[in-house]
Chain A
């Protein structure tokens, strides 16, 4: 009797445990579903970029105060003269936040250290004024990585390509990017000085093909600016940020102090870079003359698995210049902050992508250029921060993001190129997107009434457009197209784990008591659940990087050897792996390993259900409901497999 009672209590406890697990995991799953957790990969860039941005905005909710500063938003059109008058009465000193703030009369100002009560009182007084729309403390947003470079907020171009979220997963470590240009101000030598915002950056040995020595210093300023966009020292409290700031720069000088060069030097530099370990080559140069030697060099680099990124040209006409037009090169056109093709940008069928190149000409606003640290051409030892514009500035954005993709585990240049193109954002969608950089937001609103020329979302989704190629560069989209778990957040992984455990309990409740007793839940089984649902999560802790680090994902997101690195493969995101392992352990008559496979199958089932709930998509599967159906069916198959294995007698084959 007492035995029966304790058995009932045990059963009740199990049931309670089961119900609470299911409840908890469903809560998280529902949260993911409605919260719009970003999907793993997508073949239609337009449809999927939004959830990623939504989670970016959500992350911004974690805010804290910047002590001693306030923001005052005056009625639109309030002039500086007027608020200078008003600020005296409040005893504060505010200024326009940026050039864009003039339109909306948004100011920030220092009020010094104040008690919270005094600050509240001051803000209340300011708010009460009829010419004030809002007044609030200044908030710091630091949910995503926010570099402390003081001029970072002028880099509207980095927000346009979604870098802050991308930096959470990749910063280009271990990838060498060759800058084939006028050189880089990377060392103190003779009259040359290393730029303050390149000090501490990583450099690979380079070569000066103009002067034939090993010191590819910059005597123009163009190459250093381009190098800065790719890997300016970042989070160093100085100047501006760079895209792949943990990448290694290889300075190769092929252009002289006039910014002019010849095809042979450039061809040699392309081969040199390829043979010395550069995985990305940036060529912000070109002209109209076809050179077979240069074309062969580009083909050589591409054949060796390097990505050759080239500026499309600045002639503002439908003809892409060389080397961008050579087969194997990735041609990049330029857009301004509005997301529209810059008037100067060349375009044509060879254009693969558009990227921010700045457009000062269109607006007359110098801040609509691309800001980096470079040398003054008239005094090569002197540093300044300068706004440049041109397709020369657009190409290094792509080169930098390509470095992020290589560092995130992309196997080869083909995978990087595919991810870049697949992850690109449509120019129209970009205009609709809410930008947090005031300058970008204002540039967009001022141009939102004008339609995007020539390109529409429909022509883009149908294929590539002669102005924008596959769309505007998007680091987040590209990383997701690669299958990098930008959005495989801890809650999603924990939900998969809990769901798998719940399924384990559920499966055990549906089999006979005898079968349960024959197969107690052991450590092997739990390990299986853990590895399948969380992946080899400990790998980054023991220093794994590159493609190995992708095994730190839930197993359903492991890369398929058949498909390169791009996208979430149907191979792993299915019940196939548990079925194969189940068959092997069964055929090999290995009951202890079978317990591991039971756990693994349940882990797959849980993780696949989470993929279903978060609306993820499989690579190369254009229709989203098909992915959802795939996840659901395979989750069920994996569960049924686990249950079937539980029913298999311990002793071996039936």
Chain B
């Protein structure tokens, strides 16, 4: 994980589908297994088990969403499959 001054970070991990609220995708990051809600450009990330590298803006306190958890939110700007 690399963090920059404008809170843009790059994370690697696996996409998981959460089964609450009708379903939404989260990133389970490597190596610590920390979960991130995903916002922004997520169209390519709607596949359970996908290993990806994601660059995005981090909101550590999360944001209001259908997840209704306090998990951090990663607003995706770009992503690629691993």
Please list the residues of chain A having a beta carbon within 8 angstroms of any beta carbon in chain B. Answer: 181-182, 220-222, 225, 254-256, 258-263, 266, 284-289, 294, 311-315, 319, 321-323, 344, 346, 360-361, 374, 377-378, 386, 388-393
Contacts and interface: CB of A to CB of B under 8 A. Distances in A.
Interface residues of B, number: 25
A263 B64 contact: yes
Contacts of A284: 21, 66, 68
12 contacts: A181-B66, A222-B66, A256-B39, A261-B65, A262-B64, A263-B63, A285-B68, A286-B68, A287-B64, A311-B68, A378-B46, A389-B20
Contacts of A294: 64
Looking at A254, A255, A323, the one whose CB has the most chain B CB atoms below 10 A away is: A255
B50 to A, nearest CB: 15
Contact of B19 (A220, A258, A319, A361): A361
B61 interface: yes
B77 interface: no
B67 interface: yes
Contacts of B23: 377
B29 interface: no
B73 interface: yes
Contacts of A255: 64-66
Looking at A313, A314, A319, A346, the one whose CB has the most chain B CB atoms below 10 A away is: A314
A178 to B, nearest CB: 16
Interface in B54-78: 59, 61-71, 73
B68 A287 contact: yes
B63 A315 contact: no
A392 B23 CA distance: 12
A288 B66 contact: no
Contacts of A256: 39
Contact of B69 (A315, A323, A361): A315
B39 A314 contact: no
Interface string B4-27: 000000000000000111111000
A314 B22 contact: no
A433 to B, nearest CB: 27
Contacts of B67: 259, 287, 314
Contacts of A388: 21-22
Given A258-B40, A258-B42, 17 more contacts: A220-B66, A255-B65, A258-B39, A260-B37, A260-B64, A260-B65, A287-B64, A287-B70, A289-B59, A294-B64, A314-B21, A321-B68, A321-B69, A321-B70, A344-B20, A390-B66, A390-B68
Nearest to B59: A289
Given A315-B68, A315-B69, A321-B68, A262 B19 contact: no
Given A260-B39, A314-B68, A321-B68, A288 B62 contact: yes
B38 interface: yes
Contact of B22 (A254, A261, A386): A386
Classify the interface of chain A: helix, strand, loop or mixed: loop
Nearest to A283: B64
Nearest to B39: A260
Nearest to A344: B20
Given A258-B24, A315-B70, A344-B20, A287 B61 contact: yes
Contacts of A360: 19
A64 to B, nearest CB: 38
A261 B68 contact: no
A245 B65 CA distance: 26
Contacts of B66: 181-182, 220, 222, 255, 259-260, 284-285, 390, 392
A297 to B, nearest CB: 12
A346 B68 CA distance: 9
B35 to A, nearest CB: 11
Contacts of B46: 378
Nearest to A294: B64
Contacts of B38: 258
B64 A286 contact: yes
B63 A260 contact: yes
Nearest to B18: A314
A69 to B, nearest CB: 34
A319 B71 CA distance: 13
Contacts of B73: 260, 287
A313 B70 CA distance: 9
B22 A225 contact: yes
B25 to A, nearest CB: 8
